[in-house]
Amino acid sequence: MFIPKSLSRRRAIKMTLASLVGMTTVTTKAAYQDKQIPLLFDSKRKFQVIGQASLKQRAAAKGIIYGAATGRDILVSDAEFADIFVKDCAMLVAENDLKWLALRPTPNTFDFSKGDWLAKFASKHRMLFRGTPLVWDRALPSWFKKTINSENAERLLVEHITRVTKHYAGKIYSWDVVNEAIDVKRSQRRDGLLLTPWLRFVGEDYIDLAFRTAAAADPQAILVYNDRWLDYDTPRDNAQRAAVLQLLERLKSQKTPVHALGIQAHLRAIDSQTRFHPSKLRNFLKDVASLGLKIFITELDVKDQGLPLDIAQRDRIVAAVYEDYLSTVLDEKAVIAVLTWGLSDRYTWLFQLNKRPLLYDSNFHRKSAWNAVARAFEQAPKR
Ligand code: G3I
């Protein structure tokens, strides 16, 4: 279990203690001064947008990059989807095609075919290209677990990162170098680091090594530490934010070439009504930015399970979650990119749980959520 040490910022302690205090919700920026305001599920909320500008145009007008995650198989098989993707997105994130499972069919071979197709598609449509992740403990090929050991782990890590980042150097705008290294609930360590094969066989410096290796192979790419459970005022999220901040402070103190924090932001509509505490989140963003780091919202979507079955009401609630979250995080100018984890409900990873987490429905009709994201960009301060 993560225990925040005496951080230079007492915020971690405050956050943990304050998590016992009542929760508030927001619907407008001004309201995030902890005032209790009309519940998120205010059915009178409208999500009007003015003009025909696309999401990427509305974001770019404020110096923000908007993009989404997808895959080569989807873009090849669904031309209609590819069209809306190109229209709205300034960045393409490889949802699965740059993970070990896709890139490493055997211990001695690399398969760049899908990643290369995506890189070409992004370049053809003048989109930035983003890869995730170089180091993670999931989406690993079947040979991995029976191959890695304390003798070869460091070589495996360095070889994979070097080969992949060199291959995409000049084509990739940003990499999640390390993904989900912290899990304050499952970790037995004070620093909250999860005992992944990397920590077990390389040691706790695997994170620093991963970033240094990626920076050496591609000095142009923006190198991101990516994690989740950073959004709400719950004991777990409060502890996760403190642990991630502590990790970033440690990396910066040892001059690790980490350039940004990735906040996944897989939001939960039900928690957004009762556990969203904007000023806590704003303080965390400020703390991260004070380390000289940029911030990417990397996997934004809204789990809508537990919401009313009425589609219009469900969509309005999901839209309110998007607008309130983004109007809070975009107030922090270090947030330079907003990436949704998909664009249409037809291809959401949440298929087994939810039906309507994204900005377009399964028939590619824009939803209130699309308007909500557009409005958040319109309201955001210019970078
Ligand atoms: O492509 C194969 C297909 O050929 C096969 O028939 C099918 C059935 O086994 O599996 C398909 O691969 C699946 C892949 O998604 C593509 O759909 C994998 O089994 C499945 O595990 C994989 O899940 C992905 C998951 O990460 C694990 O890599 C999800 O799509 C993806 O949305 C999810 O994304 C993660 C981020 O990377 C990290 N943050 C959390 C986020 C959600 O879990």
140 lines ligand 1 (CB under 6 A): no
Q: Is residue 118 part of a domain?
A: yes
- Is pLDDT of 5 > 60? no
Structure tokens, 4: 């925040």
Which range (96-110, 180-194, 233-247, 306-320) has the least confidence? 306-320
pLDDT band at 102 (very low <50, low <70, confident <90, very high): very high
Q: Which residues of 122-161 are buried (b: 16+ CB within 10 A; e: fewer)?
A: beeeebbbbbbbbbbbebbbeebeeebeeeebbebbbebb
Rounded alpha-carbon distances, angstroms, from residue 225 to 59, 168, 251, 323: 23, 19, 10, 25
Q: Is residue 173 part of a domain?
A: yes
351 lines ligand 1 (CB under 6 A): no
> Residue 253 Cα, ligand 1 centroid: separation in angstroms?
35
166 lines ligand 1 (CB under 6 A): no
Q: Is residue 24 part of a domain?
A: no
112 lines ligand 1 (CB under 6 A): no
pLDDT band at 160 (very low <50, low <70, confident <90, very high): very high
DSSP string, 52-115: S--HHHHHHTTT-EEEEEE-HHHHHH-HHHHHHHHHH-SEEEESSTTSHHHH-SBTTB---HHH
16 lines ligand 1 (CB under 6 A): no
pLDDT band at 14 (very low <50, low <70, confident <90, very high): very low
73 lines ligand 1 (CB under 6 A): no
Q: What ligand 1 atom has the least distance to the C-alpha of 179?
A: 38
Q: Give the domain range for residue 56.
A: 45-379
Percent of the chain at pLDDT > 70 equals 88
Q: Name the residue type at position 65.
A: I
> Residue 77 Cα, ligand 1 centroid: separation in angstroms?
17
More confident residue, 287 or 17: 287
- pLDDT (mean) for 361-375: 97
Reported as a single tens digit per residue, the pLDDT across 35-47 is 333 455 676 788 9
Q: What is the CATH number of the domain that holds 168?
A: 3.20.20.80
pTM of the predicted protein model: 0.91
Q: Is residue 153 part of a domain?
A: yes
Q: Is residue 38 part of a domain?
A: no
Q: What ligand 1 atom has the least distance to the C-alpha of 132?
A: 37
Nearest alpha-carbon partner for 178 in 145, 202, 142, 152: 202
Q: Is residue 18 part of a domain?
A: no
At residue 43, the pLDDT reads 67
95 lines ligand 1 (CB under 6 A): yes
Total domain count, the chain: 1
120 lines ligand 1 (CB under 6 A): no
137 lines ligand 1 (CB under 6 A): no
Q: What ligand 1 atom has the least distance to the C-alpha of 139?
A: 28
Which range (26-30, 33-37, 211-215, 253-257) has the least confidence? 33-37
Which range (57-71, 302-316, 320-334) has the least confidence? 302-316
At residue 35, the pLDDT reads 36
Q: Is residue 37 part of a domain?
A: no
> Residue 346 Cα, ligand 1 centroid: separation in angstroms?
15
